[in-house]
């Protein structure tokens, strides 16, 4: 069960590793970012929250059908919730001191009234305001529109223009790149150890059967 909980999270960290080793910053909509995170937390949610929602005896009595219904329920809820974050913009593997001035210059080309107000990018002519926040390591930025602007049709246009801008910008130093590969490797090792402990007899039996073929 530990391996089941960790494998989706391992895949999520492998995805972040691929993003971190790209030559340019990568932009996603908030919906895509949330959906990927929901996939990464699927195993942990199943072992944790799933056991509170669905009694353990139901898992035992219904078997695979219970897992099927729980999987459908989880992804229906999470991917429906992902639509609420569609107006957000997430930029991975970015240098804040470079991308923010570049995005501001692009915003001024679209809306001459655009201005910075602290950590808020305001495009008055388009009726948009984005709050800019970063993660602990400064490796990605999150642009969150205020609630009443999330249906603004200009958001999709700006997202496409910002995505094109990101393809021209440099990336941060390589130091942070190795965090996610290390996490993915550690989780994969723990999951592999759990699988081996649970199925060690089967693995040994298969090894005893196939090794003579390879040895010869």
Residue-wise pLDDT for 26-70, tens only, equals 888 888 889 888 988 888 887 776 565 665 555 556 666 777 787
pTM score:
0.76
What is the pLDDT, as a whole number, of residue 7? Answer: 86
**Taking the mean position of all CA atoms in its chain, how far away is CA 68?**
23
Q: At which residue do the structure tokens 């958001």 appear? A: 155
Q: Residue 140 is encoded by which pair of tokens? A: 């990605």
What is the pLDDT, as a whole number, of residue 207? Answer: 54
Helix count (H) and strand count (E) of the chain? 10, 6
Please compute the mean of the pLDDT values over residues 185-202 and round it to a whole number: 76
| 147 band by pLDDT with thresholds 50, 70 and 90 | low
Phi, psi of 55 (to 5 degrees): -55, 150
What is the pLDDT, as a whole number, of residue 206? Answer: 58
Q: Residue 35 is encoded by which pair of tokens? A: 């959906």
What DSSP state is assigned to residue 170?
A: -
Please name which of 73, 49, 48, 70 lies closest in space to residue 58, comparing C-alpha atoms.
70
What is the pLDDT, as a whole number, of residue 170? Answer: 78
The helix or strand, by DSSP H or E, that contains position 28, with its residue range, turns out to be: strand 26-29
Average pLDDT of the residues of the chain: 77
In this predicted model, what pLDDT tens digit does every residue of 110-134 receive, in sequence order?
888 888 887 888 888 877 888 888 7
The SS3 of residue 168 is coil
Instruction: In whole angstroms, give the CA distance from residue 31 to residue 48.
Output: 24
Q: How many CB atoms lie within 10 A of CB 202?
A: 9
What is the pLDDT, as a whole number, of residue 130? Answer: 81
């Amino acid at each position: 069960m530990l391996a089941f909980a960790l494998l989706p999270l391992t895949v999520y960290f492998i995805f972040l590793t691929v993003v971190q080793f790209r030559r340019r910053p990568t932009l996603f909509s908030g919906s895509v970012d949330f959906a990927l995170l929901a996939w990464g937390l699927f195993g942990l949610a199943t072992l944790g929250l799933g056991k509170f929602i669905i009694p353990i005896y139901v898992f035992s009595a219904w078997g695979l059908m219970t897992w099927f219904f729980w999987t459908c329920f989880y992804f229906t809820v999470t991917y429906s919730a992902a639509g609420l974050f569609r107006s957000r913009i997430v930029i991975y593997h970015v240098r804040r001191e470079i991308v923010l001035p570049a995005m501001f210059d692009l915003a001024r080309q679209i809306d001459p009234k655009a201005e910075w107000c602290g950590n808020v990018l305001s495009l008055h002519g388009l009726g948009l305001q984005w709050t800019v926040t970063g993660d602990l390591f400064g490796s990605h930025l999150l642009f969150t529109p205020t609630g009443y602007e999330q249906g603004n049709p200009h958001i999709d246009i700006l997202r496409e223009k910002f995505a094109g801008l990101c393809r021209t910008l440099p990336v941060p130093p390589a130091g942070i790149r190795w965090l996610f590969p290390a996490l993915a490797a550690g989780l994969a090792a723990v999951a592999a150890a759990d699988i081996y402990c649970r199925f060690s007899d089967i693995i040994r039996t298969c090894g005893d059967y196939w090794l003579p073929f390879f040895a010869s």
